[in-house]
Chain A
Amino acid sequence: MTETSLTVAVIDPSRARAAILEEGLRASGVATVVVLPDGPDLQARVASLKPDVIVVHLESPSRDVLEQMSGLSRQAERPVAMFVDRSDQTMMQAAVDAGISAYVVDGLRAERIKPILDIAILRFNAFARLQRELDEARSELADRKLIERAKGILMTRKGMSEEEAYKLLRRQAMNEKRKIVDIARAIVTAADLLG
């Protein structure tokens, strides 16, 4: 259970991924979760929100903005520091692998931040897995459409049945030691070119 008194800001160029983390943090009891967009006014937004923890995706260009707000800067209005827990190298590596870095308000204890990072790692990894599955499903669908088109071309041009067309594609693929979809793509491209 995370602490309910913390304000957490989430910065992520992917709005879908940010929404998934926001939901996860809310569900675990963080009272205030605010998703901030990347942009030139980010420093002003962070300064007015005054979050205790900022979870920022490594793909965000805004990480450098947050570093300027660190205690190193004389102008820091509410200093934040990058959360680097040297005692826990595995945690650090897991966070970076999941695409996460965190900035915390000066003085916040490590054990108050860990549950938030744990949720972020879980949610971001789950998002990456979903993304991968979706990409695979998309490319599978595209492959199937291509094979359907190639079959259609063979059926029209050569008067074949659907089954014959598929067998021809498969035989050609075996002969050339290529995938059926590659043969299908060649047929579709040739048909497009030759009209």
Chain B
Amino acid sequence: MKLTLGYVPLTDAAPVIAAAELGFARAEGLDLTLSREPSWATLRDRLALGHLDAAHMLAPLAIASALGLSGPQADLTVPMSLSFNGNAITLSNALWQAMAPEGLDVGTVARTFARIARERAQAGRPLTLGTVHPFSCHSYQIRLFAELGGLDLGGQVRLVVIPPPQTVDALARGIVDGFCVGAPWNTVAFAAGLGQIAALGCEIVPDCPEKVLAVPASDADYVPALVRAVAKAGRWCAEPAHHAELATLLAKRGGLATHADLVRVTLEGAVASDATGRRRVNPDYVRMDAAVQAPRASDARWLVAQMAASGQIEDAAGLGDAAAALYRADAFLLG
């Protein structure tokens, strides 16, 4: 059976890329073609209009698309989760120096960030941070990071979207003071000497539901085979012994050609964190192992709560039930 699966080039697209490229899909009788999408909005619309049979998708965007909150309303379901975590907040060297945090724990860093953000807002020059889409954990992690420091984001910090491949350029040109983006772009910005990694996503929200596999709700008899293929591929990707081969594959297929070494580092959970070359290692930095794969209704409800806290929706209770119903643990078990 021929299927087209949309993805955005990031480290956490590994399970779907490996499924298509390393024979996991073929073993399930699927002829899986990857379609690299230029933006989350285009991936969402192409899935909604039936141009794609499945997609690697921001978890909150999948929910927003199904609930008609973002783009044309799509009849889709989430038969499996692809990854937890993977994001980090990188701040410009200038901002980091102004903050001068005494420790690298997320609470200390967030408090110093909040102090500078308040000063800048009062001076009429609010800080600008980049995210990747309104319906993304990146947006929610920026808000939660600010709240950890005691700062209400609204009105104090400007949020803009910067497509991930442009984040490094945006930081270099001073268009943003920092951003929350997925692997490997934080590591790329740090390696280029342009910024400091202030906080890992998993330090702000442990086991944050990041990317999911989204499929059309109807006519999807291929879903069990696809879930089996992607689940096996994801478990293969999580094995440290496979990280070198996986990094090469991601660099080739993922449009990350010049960054294979950095992709491998992010798979290992190592993110350099300061100018003295100390490495910050967190094994949970990007999680794609077996334990992340079953879709959990509690994740869907948490994401809806984040939408409400960010002012994107009002009826959190009602939409929480609708979102939880999209997460099909039964479809994962059948896979």
Contact = CB atoms under 8 A, between A and B. Distances in A.
Contacts of A101: 41-42, 45
Interface string B146-176: 0000000011001111110111011001011
A126 B41 CA distance: 24
B311 interface: yes
A51 B310 CA distance: 26
B39 A68 contact: no
A64 to B, nearest CB: 5
Nearest to B164: A61
A43 B154 contact: no
Interface stretch (A71-79, A172-180, A182-190): A71-79
A101 B51 CA distance: 15
A73 B134 contact: yes
A67 interface: yes
B239 to A, nearest CB: 32
B169 A40 contact: yes
B49 interface: yes
A59 B42 CA distance: 8
Given A40-B170, A40-B173, A41-B175, A67 B70 contact: yes
Interface in A49-96: 58-68, 70, 72-75, 82, 84, 86, 92-93, 96
Nearest to B310: A74
Interface residues on B, range: 35 or more
A59 B169 CA distance: 20
A39 B166 contact: yes
Contacts of A64: 39-41, 132-133, 161, 163
Contacts of B158: 75
B134 A59 contact: no
B71 interface: yes
Contacts of B42: 58-59, 63, 101
Contact of A60 (B38, B46, B154, B155): B38
Contacts of B132: 64
A59 B132 CA distance: 16
B312 interface: yes
Contacts of A58: 38, 42, 45-46
A87 B80 CA distance: 33
B38 A40 contact: no
A36 to B, nearest CB: 14
B159 A62 contact: no
B125 to A, nearest CB: 14
B38 A59 contact: yes
Q: Which of B45, B155, B311 has the most CB of A within 10 A?
A: B45
Given A40-B170, A92-B72, A68 B160 contact: yes
B38 A43 contact: no
Contact of A67 (B155, B161, B162, B166): B161
Contacts of A43: 160-161
B62 to A, nearest CB: 15
Interface in A3-58: 39-41, 43-44, 58
B131 interface: yes
A92 B161 CA distance: 25
Interface string A88-131: 00001100100001000000000000000000000000000000
Given A41-B175, A82-B71, A101-B41, A70 B161 contact: no
Nearest to B163: A61
A74 B71 CA distance: 18
Contact of B165 (A61, A66, A74, A84): A61
Q: Which of A41, A44, A68, A101 has the most CB of B within 10 A?
A: A68
Contacts of B312: 72
Contacts of B72: 84, 86, 92
Nearest to B130: A40
B38 A68 contact: no
B39 A61 contact: yes
A65 B163 contact: yes
A96 B160 contact: no
A40 B166 contact: yes
Given A84-B71, A92-B49, A101-B45, 17 more contacts: A39-B166, A40-B175, A41-B173, A41-B175, A58-B45, A58-B46, A62-B39, A63-B40, A67-B161, A68-B133, A72-B69, A72-B312, A74-B155, A74-B310, A75-B159, A84-B72, A96-B45
6 contacts: A58-B38, A64-B39, A64-B161, A75-B155, A93-B49, A96-B45
Interface of A: 39-41, 43-44, 58-68, 70, 72-75, 82, 84, 86, 92-93, 96, 101
